[in-house]
């Protein structure tokens, strides 16, 4: 069983969930807006994805930040603080396997085929 982390109204998350459903891959959905995210969980992903990859700098949430807020994100700890306070800035979806290991970040049909089929 996989866990998909994201927000339900995100188009990329919708595409990923549609792909997983079409391929009958079982998963649970973790909604950042309803369940939040812990610092420990975010830090556990740093072994596979750097904080620079997890902070979605091309998204509207990042672009709406003040220059001061953007410049304050300079290391893992400051990135974690931002991602906890503004979960929409986390690149999505992130998919974990049953053991908690990340297997996908974002959605690409090719990458999902490699990871899940």
Say which CATH number the domain at 14 has.
3.40.30.10
Is 95 one of the annotated active-site residues of the chain? no
Q: CB within 8 A of 89, min separation 6: which ones?
A: 55, 56, 59, 61, 62, 65, 82, 83
Backbone angles phi, psi at 100, to 5 degrees: 90, 10
Strand bridging mode 94-96 / 2-6: antiparallel
Q: How many domains does the chain have?
A: 1
Structural domain that includes position 93: 2-116
* Catalytic, out of 2, 3, 10, 27: 10
pTM attached to this predicted model: 0.94
- In the prediction, which pLDDT does 100 show? 96
Best CA proximity match to 104, nearest among 32, 34, 45 = 45
**62-96 per-position pLDDT tens digit:** 999 999 999 999 999 999 999 999 999 999 999 99
**42-54 per-position pLDDT tens digit:** 999 999 999 999 9
């Amino acid at each position: 069983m996989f866990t998909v982390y994201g927000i339900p109204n995100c188009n990329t998350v919708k595409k990923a969930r549609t792909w997983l459903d079409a391929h009958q891959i079982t998963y649970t959905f973790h909604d950042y807006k309803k369940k939040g995210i812990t610092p420990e969980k975010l830090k556990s992903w740093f072994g596979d994805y750097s904080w620079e990859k997890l902070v979605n700098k091309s998204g509207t949430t990042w672009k709406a930040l003040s220059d001061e807020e953007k410049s304050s994100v300079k290391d893992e700890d400051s990135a974690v603080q931002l991602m906890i306070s503004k979960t929409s800035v986390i690149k999505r979806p992130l998919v974990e396997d049953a053991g908690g290991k990340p297997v996908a970040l974002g959605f690409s049909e090719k990458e999902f085929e490699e990871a899940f089929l």
